[in-house]
Structures are given as structure tokens and as C-alpha cells.
A and B are shown apart, each in its own frame.
Chain A
Amino acid sequence: GENVEQHPSTLSVQEGDSAVIKCTYSDSASNYFPWYKQELGKRPQLIIDIRSNVGEKKDQRIAVTLNKTAKHFSLHITETQPEDSAVYFCAVHSTSGGSYIPTFGRGTSLIVHP
């Protein structure tokens, strides 16, 4: 099955700094790479995603970059704010018996200090 590694497990930054979280995967046929944000006590929610035919996608202060050759993708958050504090999960959709099944990384706890 797919193996997804996510780093770092914890990231502490000052308000206004940038934050970068990286995920690597093993299945070269994987084709969809979403990022989810889970605030304390709440459900995970999609914040940005990228498909395998695109190298970069941006949405205001967040961006995702994908390097298919190296099999890694990263979440970039600029001008961080305290409300960005949460656990972030990457996911990779890879094939299993003809269907695409999402596999998640272990999560990164982002702490933004005011």
C-alpha cells in the first residue's frame, strides 16, 4: 500500500512568519494530493488540494507545491495568524483494486504564537 511520511510533527512559529509542511509518498501512480486542517475538537476540513498534472496551486495565504519526480508535496502558509493554529494532514490518493483510496500522513501540529 501507499506510504505517506509527513514532517515535521510539530511546528512552532511567530505570528507573521511562514510555515512549511512536507509530505512524501511512495506510489508514483498517485494522482490527488489534498491538505486538511483540523482545529481542536473539530472535524478535518479541506483547505487546498492539487492534482498530478499541476506543479503549484495558490489560494490567498496558502499554497501547495508538487514534485512528482521526487514524490513529495508541501503546504506553504505565509503571514501566519493565531487562527492558523491547528493540526494539518496531508493525504495521497493512490490506486487499490481499481479505486483511488486516500492515505493520510500522521499530521503536523502548527502553533502560531501571537
Chain B
Amino acid sequence: DGGITQSPKYLFRKEGQNVTLSCEQNLNHDAMYWYRQDPGQGLRLIYYSQIVNDFQKGDIAEGYSVSREKKESFPLTVTSAQKNPTAFYLCASSPGSYTGELFFGEGSRLTVL
């Protein structure tokens, strides 16, 4: 069953802690993306990666970090430097850097206590 899987679905963390959100895909897609979704803000791009071992900052990269060591995996770390980390995070993938449909994971909801 092909798709894109995010975990965990819900996550709570204390202020000052780093947390890593997992994103795995078995669609053999080259490109992967991380978006943050806040009410009324739409989907804002955090980081994206077009190929393994390469990634670029999106519009709101401050306080986040990523890695792309394997084609199927693109984890996102929310660091303590992120001022307002409570949000819904969506991972997506697409076949390549050409224009085409994005396939989304089910999302991870992070709450900072």
C-alpha cells in the first residue's frame, strides 16, 4: 500500500525541548516538503528537498531543521529556537522537481505546554 506516513499524529512537548517529526514515503518520489498549517494562514513552506542529501529553506525555516539522508525519509526537527511551535505540520511528496500533484501525509499536531 503506497503512501506517505507521518508520525507521531499528536505530540506534546515542554518549552525548551527539541522534537523530531517523522515523514516516510514509499512512492519513490524525489521531492519532499514540510508545511506548517495554522488557522487562516494556509500552508506555509518550511523546507523542501528535491533530491537526496540536498534541501532548501522555505518561507518560514527559522527554528526548524531537516535532513534527507535517504530518498524515502525527510524528518523535521522543531528546535527550541522556534518561537511559536504549536501547529499542525504536513509532509508532502511529489515525483520530481517538475510541476505536479503533491501527496500529503495525515499530519502531526504539535502542542507546546
Contact = CB atoms under 8 A, between A and B. Distances in A.
A106 B42 contact: yes
Contact of B104 (A45, A51, A106): A45
B42 A46 contact: no
A6 to B, nearest CB: 7
Interface in A9-45: 9, 31-32, 34, 36, 42-45
B107 A43 contact: yes
Interface of B is mostly: loop
Chain B interface category by residue count: 20 to 34
A31 B100 CA distance: 10
Interface in B20-39: 33, 35
Contact of B97 (A31, A42, A43, A99): A99
Given A6-B42, A106-B42, A100 B98 contact: yes
A73 to B, nearest CB: 14
Given A42-B106, A44-B90, A34 B101 contact: yes
Contact of B43 (A44, A46, A51, A93): A44
18 contacts: A31-B99, A43-B105, A43-B107, A46-B101, A49-B101, A51-B99, A96-B56, A99-B50, A100-B98, A100-B99, A101-B58, A102-B45, A102-B102, A104-B35, A104-B42, A104-B43, A106-B41, A106-B42
